[in-house]
Structure formats: C-alpha cells, structure tokens
Structure 1
C-alpha cells in the first residue's frame, strides 16, 4: 500500500496556529526581555505578555549564524531561552542575524512601532528566505521537516532601540509549537519521517505522532534511505513503489517476529505494509528518507483507526483483527 502521490504528500506538523508565548530568559545572570517568536509562515507572530525586565538588551540577541537556541516550554508559556551547542536539544537554529535599523529607509527608526503582522510576513520573505535557503546549502525542501521562522525583539526591547531580527529554521508539531531536535540543520537530510515504533495519525493532509494507545493510522516498522537504491535523478513514485513494496514487506515480517512466525503474524494481523515516498522537489533538495509502516485501509480508501502496539494486542476501528482461515504450509 503506497502513500498519496508525490504531488500531494502528507505533511506532518504543517498546520500553523497562533501561539502566545512568554519568554523569560536568564542569560549570564542578566534578566532578559521577553521575545516575540514569529510563527514559521511569518504571518502569525508569537506575542509576549508584558513583564518587568532589566533595561539592558537581552544577551539572547548575541546569537548569530550557526547558533542554536532552546527554551523551556510550559503549555503556552516559554521560559529560560538560552544559546546551546547544536548537538544538544534545541528549538531554533539561526541562519542569519539582521539589523532592521540598517534597513534602507526610516521605517524602523528610533520611534517606529514594531512591524504589524502583514509587514512581518513581508520581512520574512524579504530578509529571511534567501539567507536561510543559502544557509541550508541552497536548497530547502518545501515538504520537509524545517520551516523558516524569524524572531523579533520583545516590545520592551524594541522600545529601547533593539532592531535585531534573527532568521532561522525550526521543526514544529501539528499545533505549530517548536519541537526539540539535536544536530545541525544545515546540510542535514530534510525529510519528514518518524523513528521505528512510532505511531502516526493522519488527519487530512497532515500527520502527527501520537501515543500508540491512541487512535492512529500506521505504526512505523523501518526507516529507509532511498539513496541506498537510487542515485542521481529523482526516481518516480512508481519506481519508488516497486522497490519499497519488497523492502516494506520484509520489514513488516521482521517487525512481527521474523521468518515464518513473522509472516504468519502479518497474515493474521490483516494489516498491510505501507510506505511514504519523496516528491521530486524534495528529492532535488536532498531529502532521501522514508518510512515503512503497517496500516489498515477501509473500503472507502481512508485509514482505519488502529489502537495499541501491532505486536502485542491491538484493535482496528475498536475491534480485534478478524481471525483468518488457515493457509497451506509454505513449501
């Protein structure tokens, strides 16, 4: 069973929502101002609540190209923003640091108000898209795991003259909240994929990981690098399907115990091997990673709701798998 066509891939965590976040950073012992983190699409800023802060500019603004930032997420409140080594968990990687006071107009002068939502979106396109794409090696997967996101100073910092704009990338969940990741984004495989054992729920054209005890659409059995079999030009979805059909069938059998026992377990589960594919524009951006999984389709073509681990007692739309007739022994 294959995914939707490459022209309409599932986009985990692509939906954006307005988030209100409070960042109270303590950097180098100096109480930092709150920061407005603009949502990845540049159209919905994260607006900080008012709070008494130190008069000095936040050391947070010392972050520059290649810096990684993390913060503590407590519901809709974000605190303790710090610069960390990119090998450590972080939520934002800086691609460029811009100074809006150098913008070729008086638009962001001393007494200028912060840009409104529409202007912030325009600034993202004008000042962030190019440098971030260059930072990412000149290629950005439009269906990939990273989204371009700017960070502006807080209202208090802006009033004191801080015109810093950080442009970078982050990974977000289905609600638009920045997720913790490790490693450097620049030069990384930008594919969206889940690790083995993850359970994923599809909702329209989005998909997100959920606990396996909750209703989900598939359970991941293998992480596959298409570059192991395809080199050079993008392999068509048909070519990907032909190769992945065998790879994911074998992965399903191995995941359920391997050998004849795994093959029988797959048969009795009534589940079908499933895989994701890579669109041409994603391939051209360097993405190579897909998932094999187990799923169940309904007659109308939609995903059935699985609940539980497929290896140890699970249900399909609330019921255990229907018993299957005995098969002739393999020769």
Structure 2
C-alpha cells in the first residue's frame, strides 16, 4: 500500500508533521535565508561578508539520493555544510532538486526576494511532496519521524542568483531543528518511538521528547518491535491492543518495582499503536508507557521521574486505599486503551 499525495498532505497538516516548524528549523529549513541577516549564511558559525565558495558549491552540486550534514551553531548560524553518504550521520536526505528560475512565471527572476514562509509552504506542497513520495516509493510514514522539508540557498547566494531548491526529508527535535540520523529513510523504521525512560509531551497532537523535570504526558517504560510477534501482515488495532495490554502492563510493574508500586502510583499503563499506512511504510516500533488520564479526557501533566518523586497536575499521587498484595499478576485490572 502506498501513501497518496492528497492523503499525505491531509494527515501531515492534521497531526505529526508540522511543516511550519520544519520551515523555522534553522539551516535545514527553507526559512533560513529570509530570517537570517543578509551577512550570515548557514555555512558559517559567525556572520561573514562572503559565503565560503567551496561550501556553497557543495550545496549547489547536491542532488537526488545524496545526504547532507552540517554543524549546528547558535542563532541559526551553522558551518561545515557537506554532502555525505547516507550510511553516515546526516541531517537531510535529498529527494528532488528544483530550479526555481525555471518556474512557469517570472516570480523567481534575478530581482526576486526570498519567498515568505507562507510561499515556502506552498512550494513544498507543490514541488516537494509528490517527488518525495515517488523517491521513497511511497514508503513515508505519515505519522512517523520524517518530515518533508525544503532547503533554499542562504540570502547572500540567493541575491547572487542561485535559485536551487532541494526537497527532502529530515528528522526534527522538539524545537523543529534537524537532528542527525543514519541510513536511507525508505529502508528505516520510521516509527515515532522513544527510548525507555524518555518523558514525552504531546504538543499540537505530536509527541516530543522533553526533560522529565518538565511537564509531560507520559514516561516510556519499554520499546516494542511488533514485527517480532507479527512478522507477516499488519495486525489490526484490536490485535495490537490485546498483545500490548499484557506486554505493557507487565512492563509497568517491572519499571516501578511491582504491582503494589503500580497501584500506589495511580498511573495507568499506556501504549502507542501502528496504523496500516505506517506499517506499509515499514514502521514496526511502539512504546509502552505510564500516564494519567483526566476524567474529562486527555493527559494530565506529569512532572518528575515516575520512579521517584513526581506530581500529577501539580499534586502528588493520591493516597490509595490499603489492599492485599496482588499474588496473581494476570488478575490485574485492565489498563487504559491505547493511543489511536
């Protein structure tokens, strides 16, 4: 099953792919040139009057199938922009190369200003989404960790007439900045899953890693590869829930030190699931976690490591009535349903 362009656009706007944050993410985003001072480039750690010609050539020569890396700097100023093999650490995988000077109108002629953020988003939808899906043979998880993004030349190169736009995919952090990854996206597990002990906050319907001493929605107790237990076709959500109910409840007990500890924490075992389109793109990894659901729906704000002192919406866990220790773990109460 492949992901259609309309489906990708609809789902990317709805949930996990935040294009605006991609455009605001520093050197990995098309917005850099329009946001940075004219004298700065994404290729230098400090503002300079002229960009480094060799590094600009590396940007200009980069083509489909190549991967790019750079050294992040402060205030969106970065250095060591290079083309690397995709088996190496990189921040951007190129899916298409566009020459905006050939755009059907004269919008990007020699006197044109850098496109606004709104125009960059339109160009991404128009010129990057389709070619990127084709480049990946449809294997792009619409709920996964990769984002379709563009790179435009820095402002100084744009002013000299460079109209190259590179389309591609990147993995972003909570601030929308590109992070290093290894391997081709189409050959990678694209799941938006986190290592055990990670604290995760849901921001604009998208889960992002945050320090545990900040408000968060859940804390990861285990990482599960569903492909090991379901090696063939996609297991529907009911099958995933049935399997993960047991797996994640046991993970919660082990994480906190037993069933009594879980009971007294007032927290609920929780897990993520994989939709069929994500499975078709090669995603197999989900998380088990601990969370607290509010009576009116949604996640309470946890603060602190759940294995130590922590609060729930600013208060310590409510004291639970005494009970006999649970002797038969299979008799534990069923946890909350999984995330959709």
- TM-score bracket relative to the smaller structure: 0.7 to 0.9
1:64 equivalenced with 2:63 (yes/no): yes
Matched position secondary structure for 1:186: helix
SS in 1 for 2:68: strand
Distance in structure 2 (CA, Å) of the matches to 1:304 and 1:118:
34
Q: 1:37 aligns with which of 24, 29, 39?
A: 29
Per-residue deviation, 1:282: 1.9
Pairing 1:307–2:295 present: no
Shift of 1:172: 2.1
Deviation for aligned residue 1:328 = 4.7
Give how far 1:246 is off. 0.7
Moved more, 70-79 or 265-274: 70-79
- Which whole-Å CA distance do the structure 2 matches of 1:196 and 1:329 have between them? 25
Relative distance call for 1:74 and 1:155 in structure 2 (3 A) is closer
Corresponding residue number in structure 1 for 2:168:
168
Q: Which moved more, 1:81-90 or 1:11-20?
A: 11-20
Residue-pair matches, total: 304
What runs of 5+ residues in structure 2 fail to find an aligned partner?
1-9, 40-48, 329-340
1:154–1:264 CA distance, 2 compared to 1 (3 A): same
Larger fraction in helix: 2
What do residues 109-128 of structure 1 show as CA deviations (whole Å, max 9, x unaligned)? 55555555555444323432
Deviations 1:50-94 (A, max 9, x none): 112148471222222333323343453231042245455432222
TM normalised by structure 2 equals 0.76
- Report the secondary structure of 1:209's partner residue: strand
CA contact (8 A) 1:14 1:172 kept: no
- 2-side partners of 1:324 and 1:330: how far apart? 17
Distance, in Å, in 2 between the alignment partners of 1:286 and 1:203 is 25
Q: Does 1:283 align with 2:279?
A: yes
Q: Alpha-carbon deviation of 1:132?
A: 1.6
Question: Residue 123 of structure 1 corresponds to which residue in structure 2?
Answer: 123
**Cα offsets for 1:156-195 (capped at 9, x unmatched):** 3233332322111112234432233333323211211111
The equivalent of 2:189 in structure 1 is: 189
In the alignment, the residues of structure 2 paired with residue 49 and residue 305 of structure 1 have an alpha-carbon distance, to the nearest angstrom, of: 39
Any stretches of 5+ residues in structure 1 without a counterpart? 1-6, 24-35
What residue is the counterpart of 2:72 in the other structure?
A: 73
Deviation at 1:276, TM superposition (A): 0.8
